[in-house]
Amino acid sequence: MIKRLFLILVSLFSMLAVAENNPYRDDVLWVVTPNQADWLYAVNEPAGLEVRVFRYGMPVQNLTLEYEVGPDMRDAEVQGRAVLQDGVTTINVGTRSAPGFNTIRLTAEIDGLTYEHHIKLGFEPEKLKPVTQRPADFDAFWQAEVSKARRVPMVVEKTFVPEFSSALVNCYLIRLQAYEEGNYIYGYLTVPNRPGKFPAVFSPPGAGIKPMTPEKDIFYAESGMIRFDMEIHGIRPDLERSRYEEVSRAFGKGNTGYLVNGLDNRDNYYMKKAYLSSLRVLDFLTTLPEWDGKNLIAQGTSQGGALALVTAALDQRITALAANHPALVDMAGYMKPGRAGGYPHLFTRFSGMDTEQKLTTLAYYDVVNFLPSITVPVFMSWGYNDETCPPTTSYVAFNTIQSEKQALITPATEHWISATTRRAIFDWVQAGLK
């Protein structure tokens, strides 16, 4: 069963994996090869690309390419043009004088249609440090907030969900009171359908207001692990997609979105609920009679990666964590010229965010300021071509973590993870169980 599910995941993510730079079932394929195999260079070392473009699987001849080069997530600083001779061209894309990433954007017109590609190259990114500063009372603030949240009674509603249950797994929809009385979060709990004691995995969600199901990671429970897939907004995850779309339009995007809600005051910022409610999920998981009493793992991607890291920093019950291209890292990075900041890119994709009040609040919620408090083993994975959670901030996160850590870097990856990476995370979690 596990092998069959893994093969299904491989097939699914193979299709998703080509959905950005090289669209699925497109006639045109870009093959761009840096002159350093790992896409990494020393500061001031010139970088070069070999570029090929194929149409219908055949090299395109005498094609003119437009290209531009600039810092990760920032405006281009250099433009140029190159011509494919005999189906290939070499482009000198320059260097950087400081650690970080450069983005090279390529454009070509073929029979009146425009095709685009991008690639990011790193220059000593292991030396990147955060721009965001840690407030002097950061620890005191969060200790007080955690203490206050713990006084809220835990109220649990548990509903069996036959749709996602099987001979191997029992699935339940959970409603938990958290953070403040009358505030709730939801999640799907999947438990191995057999006697025994099992490790527990807490999995917070990626960004957005959208329906969710436990299907893509149900192999954790099938393999002998309890798993809780969390919904942070207090909205039932099984509502019709149209209902979620209505809520998202009103409260999920732009300057009305939840990621900027309450940002003028550290006590009112929306993400406080998400951070503290994550601890309530741990309260719940550790009461389950099926839990083994030893292993409590946090695992998430993007916003979920951010919440996994924050949870491990705030709660010593976490024993290990895995985070993929985490969001909310060094968000004030944009305040430094030529530097990328973390998702949600408040200073380039929103308006009016660079006020003193907002910057002050952000420092209390930026993931990078939680990372020194993490003491457990960490597994991180990210790609260089990510335009949502850029490699600059993933490196900042990894460089700042002081506990035992391991990285799986997949340079060509954009804002997705492959089935093999998903499996590598599972194998790392399983290998570290006590």
Query: Please, are residues 398 and 404 in contact by the beta-carbon 8 Å criterion?
Result: no
Half-sphere exposure (CA, 13 Å, Cβ side) for 219?
A: 18
Q: Which of 330, 366, 386, 394 is catalytic?
A: 386
Is 330 in the active site?
Answer: no
Q: 3-class DSSP state for residue 360?
A: helix
Q: What residues are paired with 321 via a beta bridge?
A: 298, 378
DSSP strand pairing (198-203 vs 226-231): parallel
* Coil/strand/helix, residue 184: strand
- Cβ neighbors of 153 (< 8 A, separation 6 or more) are 177, 181
What is the Cα–Cα distance from 100 to 87, expressed in whole angstroms?
31
Concerning whether 386 is annotated as a catalytic residue, the answer is: yes
Angle at 402 between CA 370 and CA 375, to 5 degrees: 70
CA distance 415 to 390: 9
Q: How far apart are CA 66 and CA 83, in angstroms?
A: 9
Answer yes or no: 233 catalytic: no
The active-site residue, picked from 203, 278, 302, 418, is 302
3-state secondary structure of 24: coil
Distances (CA, A) of 429 to 220, 228, 422, 434: 10, 15, 11, 10
Token pair 């993007």 is found at 302
Distance CA 91, CA 105 (A): 12
**Are the beta carbons of 102 and 307 closer than 8 angstroms?**
no
Answer whether 346's CB lies under 8 Å from 324's CB: no
d(CA 400, CA 82) in angstroms, rounded, equals 39
Please list the alpha-helical segments (H only) found in 237-342: 241-251, 271-285, 303-314
Run of H or E including 18:
none
Phi and psi angles of residue 381, each rounded to the nearest 5 degrees, phi first: -135, 140
Residue with tokens 């990666």: 305
State how beta strands 291-301 and 226-231 pair.
unpaired
- Which residues are known catalytic residues? 302, 386, 415
